[in-house]
Amino acid sequence: MLESVDPGLRGVLLAILEEIEKQQKERVTKDEFIELKQIVAELVEAQKRTEARVEELAEAQKRTEARVEELAEAQKRTEARVEELAEAQKRTEVRVEELAEAQKRTEVRVEELAEAQKRTEARVEELAEAQKRTETEITKLSRSLRETRQMVGGLSDTVGYGLEDRAIATLPRLVKERYGIEPVNGFVRKFIEINGKETELNMFGSGYKDGRKWFVVGEGKAKLSIKDVDRFEKLLNRLKTGKVVGDHIVSLMVTYSTRPATENYARSKGIEIIWSYELTQF
């Protein structure tokens, strides 16, 4: 029967018959079928669980991918930060190098200052030695100046005493002719005590005029100054306060030389100026 069928179709039919025969041989019993059904059901449940697990894994994969993306972004930020830090490190290294150079310059400057300090200290030491020598010279000059002053003072005293001695010898005649005062017992140089203090009077005397007692007080200065006039005025005031002299008094100063202003100043204080050459006229 199959011989009359088209060869191509005949091959297909033979293959189907072989498959039917094969399936008949493999046909199972009812118990085996139930068991097989149960196995299939279990496989279905397992498949569901597998699919659920796969879904979970898919979600986990999504989360993992999201986390990986986050980590990738974090990595990018980290790399950017590392790059920034690398740049900062470069700048720091440059700054450190600059500071190192500045430190070198500072050390050089400190060394220069140390040398300058040494020179300054040496100079100060030299100046200290010079100061010592100067102080020694000043001490010598001060001593010489004191000696010179003593000599000048001695000469001044000698000149002053000489002038006063001439005046003391001449004043009795001068006050008589110039002021009409009749001297009593001549003129003297003397020390008196005023309020417990001893005071020297260079020229002192007294006399009478029109029945009144007059006192004559004088002082000799080789070169009269305004300060001399002021000191003499203070002396006269002390004599009046101490009752050494009365209300009637002639005060005079004998000098070799003085300026016109000093002469006028003395006369304004009521002090007469007697020139040394006038003493030769009496």
Task: Check residue 26 and give its pLDDT.
Answer: 61
Task: Check residue 229 and give its pLDDT.
Answer: 97
Task: Check residue 279 and give its pLDDT.
Answer: 87
CA 228 – CA 271 distance, rounded (Å) = 12
Q: Which sign, positive or negative, has the C-alpha torsion 262, 267, 269, 271? A: positive
Phi-psi group of 253: left, alpha or beta (phi > 0 → left; psi -120 to 50 → alpha; rest → beta): beta
Task: Check residue 238 and give its pLDDT.
Answer: 93
Of residues 271, 177, 173, 151, the one with CA closest to residue 219: 271
pTM of the model: 0.47
Task: Check residue 12 and give its pLDDT.
Answer: 61
Task: Check residue 144 and give its pLDDT.
Answer: 82
CA 140 – CA 126 distance, rounded (Å) = 21
Other CB atoms within 10 A of residue 96 CB: 11
Task: Check residue 30 and give its pLDDT.
Answer: 66
Would you say how long the chain is, in residues? Answer: 282
The answer to whether the CB of 209 falls within 8 A of the CB of 232 is no
Domain ranges in the chain are 160-281
Task: Check residue 155 and give its pLDDT.
Answer: 43
Q: Which sign, positive or negative, has the C-alpha torsion 126, 127, 128, 134? A: positive
| Residue pLDDT tens, the chain, 282 long | 555 545 665 666 677 777 777 766 665 556 666 776 687 667 667 767 877 887 888 888 899 888 888 888 989 998 989 999 989 899 999 999 999 899 999 999 989 999 999 999 999 999 989 999 999 899 888 888 887 766 654 444 445 568 989 999 999 999 999 999 999 988 999 999 888 889 999 999 999 999 999 999 999 999 999 999 999 999 999 999 989 999 899 999 999 999 999 999 999 999 999 999 998 886
Task: Check residue 22 and give its pLDDT.
Answer: 75
Task: Check residue 154 and give its pLDDT.
Answer: 46
Task: Check residue 18 and give its pLDDT.
Answer: 77
CA 253 – CA 269 distance, rounded (Å) = 12
Task: Check residue 158 and give its pLDDT.
Answer: 47
CATH architecture, range 160-281: 3-Layer(aba) Sandwich (3.40)
